[in-house]
């Protein structure tokens, strides 16, 4: 049985499909990935171009270095891909419809890793800032984010 991974951007303008195993799932801590993700690291995993296709739209590309271009949704800004000019494309693992299904196995570029990163699990949890069930329901009712599965049409025609 062939594994199929689907994913896309937050607004649904760009959707993709990858078949087979996503290799080298990792967290990259390099400064370029930090900037591209707007975060402390970028989770990535690769799939061969031959096993990859766009199912909706096309990403915009930013040439972040001589050998690397990064794909993102030009409508909502979601970082989606890292293309290092090889036989595969790296997918941002958070853009997968099932990101829990692919656990990173290693880290790269640790020289730029935040020195306090290992302390994050010890941070205090401020339960007063958690959403209540009513808040979650209100947000879900007005959510413009694409669902975590392929759709025939997006955005929905009855969207306000």
Closest CA to 25 of 8, 2, 41: 41
The pLDDT profile of the chain, 160 residues, written as one tens digit per residue, is 889 999 999 999 999 999 999 999 999 999 999 999 999 999 999 999 999 999 999 999 999 999 999 999 999 999 999 999 899 999 999 999 999 999 999 999 999 999 999 999 999 999 999 999 999 999 888 888 898 999 988 887 665 5
Q: How far apart are CA 12 and CA 7, in angstroms?
A: 9
d(CA 61, CA 64): 9
Please give the DSSP secondary-structure letter assigned to residue 138: H
Domains of the chain, start order: 4-115 (2.170.150.70)
**CA atoms lying within 13 Å on the CB side of residue 39:** 12
Q: pTM of the full predicted structure?
A: 0.90
Q: What angle do CA 144, 149, 152 make, to 5 degrees?
A: 80
């Amino acid at each position: 049985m062939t594994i199929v991974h689907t994913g896309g951007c937050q607004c649904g303008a760009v959707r993709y499909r990858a078949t087979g195993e996503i290799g080298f799932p990792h967290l990259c801590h390099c400064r370029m990935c930090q900037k591209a993700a707007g975060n402390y690291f970028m989770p990535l995993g690769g799939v061969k171009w031959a096993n990859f296709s766009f199912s909706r739209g096309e990403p915009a590309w930013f040439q972040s270095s001589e050998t690397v271009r990064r794909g993102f949704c030009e409508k909502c800004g979601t970082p989606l891909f890292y293309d290092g000019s090889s036989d595969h494309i790296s997918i941002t693992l958070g853009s997968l419809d099932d990101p829990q299904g692919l656990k990173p196995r290693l880290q790269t570029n640790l020289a730029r890793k935040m020195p306090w990163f290992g302390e994050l699990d010890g941070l205090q949890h401020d339960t007063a800032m958690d959403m209540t069930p009513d808040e979650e329901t209100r947000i879900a009712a007005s959510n413009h984010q694409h669902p975590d599965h392929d759709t025939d049409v997006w955005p929905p025609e009855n969207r306000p």
